[in-house]
Amino acid sequence: MASILNELKYFHAFTNFVQDIVHDLFEGVCAYDMCLVSRELIRRQFFTLSVLNSRLQGAQCSYHEICNKLPVSSSLDCEMLPLDASEAWCFTSVFSIAVGHLVPEDDNVWKFYLCLRSIMDIVLAPSVIAEELKLLEEDY
């Protein structure tokens, strides 16, 4: 199957095969999508920005990130969250712990977030089995 990326002017999947998870996933997909997810869940009144900020400030991603508190957002009126790669990883990782209990399980935006988390978990896994890769092909 041909990659849709081959349609780009300066890219071809065969010759440009190096992937950059920091820029592609964390500073790209996560920073953009988590802004949209957060904004929409707040718009639906599942929680407030103040609640989200408070919960994220109290979160600890892992031993190495204990000192790296996530920045507080004064607004989500932006195209993407102003986070570096480790902050975007931490934000996306702890979002479900911070506010997941406030969002209905069947909410379509929440399902989208869970899909993003699944993708992130698979991409970051030290190894995967073939059945896990099939999860990347499912429509959510």
Find out whether 32 and 79 touch, Cβ atoms under 8 Å.
yes
Distance CA 62, CA 4 (A): 36
User: Given this model, what pLDDT does residue 61 score?
Assistant: 61
Query: pTM above 0.75?
Result: yes
102/93 Cα distance (integer angstroms): 16
State which residues form the domain around 99. 19-135
Number of domains forming the structure of the chain:
1
- Model confidence at 139, pLDDT cuts 50, 70, 90, reads low
Range in 60-64, 117-121, 127-131 the model is least confident about? 60-64
Would you say residue 125 lies in a domain? Answer: yes
Per the domain annotation, does 41 fall within a domain?
yes
Residue 10, domain member (yes or no): no
In a domain, 13, yes or no: no
Q: Does the pLDDT of residue 66 top 50, yes or no?
A: no
Query: What is the per-residue pLDDT for 72?
Result: 65
Q: Which two tokens stand for residue 38?
A: 């957060």
